[in-house]
Amino acid sequence: MSIRFYPVKTPATEGGYTISVNGMTVPTDTARVSAMPYNRRWPGHQRSLDQTEVIQFLSIEADEPLDFEITLPEPTDKVVLRPYSLGVTPELCSDGKIRFTLPRPAYFTLEPYGRSNALHIFVDAPETNIPDKNAGNVIYFGPGEHDVGQIELKSGQTLYLDAGAVVYACIKAIDAENISILGRGILDNSRNVEKILFEASEQGNTAAVKNATRQHTIQLEYCTGVLIDGITIRDSLVYNIRPIACRRLTIRGVKIIGCWRYNSDGIDMHNCEDVVIENCFLRTFDDSICVKGFDCYYEGDVEKAVREAMYRGGQVYDVFRNVLVRGCVIWNDWGKCLEIGAETRAEEIRDILFENCDIIHVCGPILDCCNVDYADVHHVTFRNIRIELDENIPAPRIQNRDDEPYGEVTPGYQPPIICGVVAFHFEYSAGGTRRGINRDLLFENIAITGGLKPRASFSSHSEEACCRDIMIRNITVEGKRLTGDELGLSISEHCKNIVFEG
């Protein structure tokens, strides 16, 4: 039995929590997160810091029960530990401290003040996949700070971030086979900033201003046999992990934190095959986990560029298939939690399973299939999903000008639990004329805690481009199974055979 506390280069001075684990006071790290669901399409400059806050997070490793004692920065009369499925109830003691025992490794948040100033705690199981740091195919970073800038992985290489390492870098791999990104260190993207091509101060924009180039934290293109295991990604400029046309991809035990900049999605994948994402924690400012076709962000003839990307080097990448997402904990500060789309340039997107995930905070649609291109999206399942809804959920809003305030929380706002859409989108569809279909979708065993009356909605583009053959089964609220009209189900014209089985 053992505990390992990861070294912290710069212990937290903001947040104000003091944490003791099994009688030992431990240092915490910090990350900047979104403080309000206020977003824009890229307006020519980065988001204002007054829309954010700095929080603390603790990362450790253990294979024994852990007794936590936490001293708060300010008094409170209520504390919540999420996800509820952990079955851990924190005790708010008479001395003002919080105490609880964690029986096993888990990723969770402690919330004495609601969504604000939450404490994130990541307890990993003991690390077993440790390469020889002196091997010729291993790129090793030990404890301490490393300002690297760019890392490009080649076939057969392993990048290892040891506990206590903070590596300031972007990672890229193209046409690589059998590569790994491992360790308990932090991949920090805070020094990756947008390159401004010309000054622009766009107000009221509904589409992204093209005055800057921005680089994703981990970009994988046409790679086969990829493992990302155990690392923490902090402060991504755009997407945290973006695999394009990759095969045999596994992402597990990854912690994504510190997302506050525009479009800092979690894991957004494009036309991949044989993907497993498991036991990860994601707190994102934009969509959390997305299964997408190729997107529309190409210069010139978009359709020609997509064809070249799909049929490349004698290989075919026109189908996205075989995806398993399980055991993940998701806090979404803007956008959608588990999503197909919105970009769906693929002939098929099929055999996708989201299961046994905890959604602990939301702002927008939660389980979503949004088809704005031409994919035949079918055999998609959302099963055994637990959704925790706040008493008051801040509604996502679009900021039209730099000095426009967010305003007050809208009373009674609640996003739809389930969405299915086939539509044309003026930007994401990039002028394409083909529309797809959503069929053979299953939403099953969805357990909701808190919130108002749950809603689901489906809409279709036409008689052919439609949502059809969809089953919603066993939706519960506070353990009570919904029947009849207890689910607010909205179905538009052209939708077919959408069934709610109470």
pLDDT digits (tens, 9 = 90+) for 170-189: 999 999 999 999 999 999 99
Among 92, 62, 59, residue whose Cα is nearest residue 163 = 59
DSSP letter string, 442-484:
EEEEEEEESSSS-EEEEE-SSSSS-EEEEEEEEEEETTEEP-G
Distance CA 337, CA 156 (A): 33
pLDDT digits (tens, 9 = 90+) for 277-319: 999 999 999 999 999 999 877 777 888 888 999 999 999 999 9
Tell me the longest C-alpha to C-alpha distance in the chain. 69
Provide the pLDDT for residue 11. Answer: 77
Distance CA 499, CA 380 (A): 15
Band of residue 109 on the pLDDT scale cut at 50, 70, 90: very high
Answer for the pair 467, 421: CB distance below 8 angstroms, yes or no.
Answer: yes
Provide the pLDDT for residue 429. Answer: 86
Among 194, 237, 229, 188, residue whose Cα is nearest residue 213 = 194
Phi-psi category of residue 84: left, alpha or beta, with phi > 0 → left and psi -120 to 50 → alpha: alpha
Average pLDDT over residues 35-62: 96
End-to-end, the C-alpha distance of the chain in Å comes to 46
Band of residue 102 on the pLDDT scale cut at 50, 70, 90: very high
Q: Is the pLDDT of residue 9 over 90?
A: no
Kindly list the distances between the CA atom of residue 197 and the CA atoms of 100, 200, 217, in Å, as whole numbers in the listed order.
51, 9, 20
Answer for the pair 252, 229: CB distance below 8 angstroms, yes or no.
Answer: yes
Give the 3-state DSSP-derived string for 199-213, with helices as H, strands as E and coil as C.
CCCCCCCCCCCCCEE
Provide the pLDDT for residue 42. Answer: 93
Provide the pLDDT for residue 36. Answer: 96
The reply to whether omega before 143 is within 30° of 0 (cis) is no
Could you tell me the domains of the chain?
Answer: 3-124 (2.60.350.10), 138-501 (2.160.20.10)
Band of residue 432 on the pLDDT scale cut at 50, 70, 90: confident
Provide the pLDDT for residue 14. Answer: 73
Return mean pLDDT, the chain: 95
Query: Which token pair is 461?
Result: 């583009």
Answer for the pair 365, 396: CB distance below 8 angstroms, yes or no.
Answer: no
Beta bridge partners of residue 455, listed in sequence order = 488
